[in-house]
Structure 1
């Protein structure tokens, strides 16, 4: 939250009895867990939350029923996160089994690494080699 000074200022400005109007839940937090914690914190401070696109959020977090609904939301959010994580792992394992490796393609092929080594043996500097191969100096240093 350190990189969201306006959000911090908003939270500091709110007082008990105020209503915070938001467009959607994703505007107040990056993850469901953070959103639920924020809803709980606002409820404990006596601040109501009103979402223009999510009317189910208009709950009183200070009541037992409101706390139960927030708890259910937390469980569902954790289930969603766990399901996404599980599906991602399964997809990566499937891709690896088919010989695919994710990530950015390597810039320095074996042939280019050998070229860089030959240029270095000719007493070329790292910046010169980098310019010749069209890569950064750090890429050359890592490769050699």
Structure 2
């Protein structure tokens, strides 16, 4: 009997497993099991090395469906993500994303279709890693800017907190538009655009206000 498994991963306290589960259900998925890793970096820890991530390799069988909010939940390392998806496809597992409703499987025998599929997987994995690197750089720049401004006026308190900042960054990495992000987070569209234009400045503002 086939099963549908949601894999969720959170790397910080600002992210939420329940939110990822609710998103999947709202997208029409009937989830049989939720496998989740808490406080695990998708950059430094490969999926097969995570406490729960390694369970996926034992649980998933041919015909099963693996649901992820987006490929960055599998990881933010290009090599790890592409290797993982290809390994699951070789096993006959179908991978589906909540965001953008993408489906990856190894069923096609057409070389051109397989090439397009693999190119999309590679692009998404590269985007996940690039976003992780950009976020880390923004955090470093934000902390440095905050330290340099310790004796200065803090400026206007940001209308977003750390949780919504992380969520905005996360959605931007998937290519979501400012209007869609504003609707999801409750923030003003202009706030989204300011964060997108200068994430380091947004990070610095949070640090100055200790948010």
Match of 1:138 in 2: none
**Structure having greater relative contact order (Cα 8 Å, sep ≥ 6):** 2
Distance 1:8 1:89, change over 3 A: closer
From 145, 149, 169, the counterpart of 1:98: 149
Aligned residues: CA RMSD: 3.0
Distance 1:57 1:41, change over 3 A: farther
- Separation (CA, whole Å) in 2 of partners of 1:88 and 1:95: 10
Query: Which one has the largest radius of gyration?
Result: 1
Residue 70 (structure 1) shift? 0.7
Q: Structure 1 regions of 5+ residues with no counterpart?
A: 101-144
What pairs up with 1:19-98 in 2 under 5 angstroms?
A: 19-22=64-67, 24-25=69-70, 29=74, 31-33=75-77, 35-51=81-97, 53-60=98-105, 63-98=114-149
Q: Structure 2 regions of 5+ residues with no counterpart?
A: 1-48, 109-113, 152-211
Q: What's the CA shift string for 1:88-134, capped at 9, x where partnerless?
A: 1111111121238xxxxxxxxxxxxxxxxxxxxxxxxxxxxxxxxxx
Distance 1:46 1:25, change over 3 A: same
Aligned residues: 95
- Separation (CA, whole Å) in 2 of partners of 1:14 and 1:97: 50
Q: What's the CA shift string for 1:11-38, capped at 9, x where partnerless?
A: 324333x132426347963x33355443
Distance 1:80 1:42, change over 3 A: same
What SS is found at the alignment partner of 1:96? helix
Query: 8 Å contact 1:32–1:77 — kept in the other structure?
Result: yes
Greater strand fraction, Structure 1 or Structure 2: 2
What SS is found at the alignment partner of 2:95? strand
Match of 1:142 in 2: none
Match of 1:113 in 2: none
Greater helix fraction, Structure 1 or Structure 2: 1
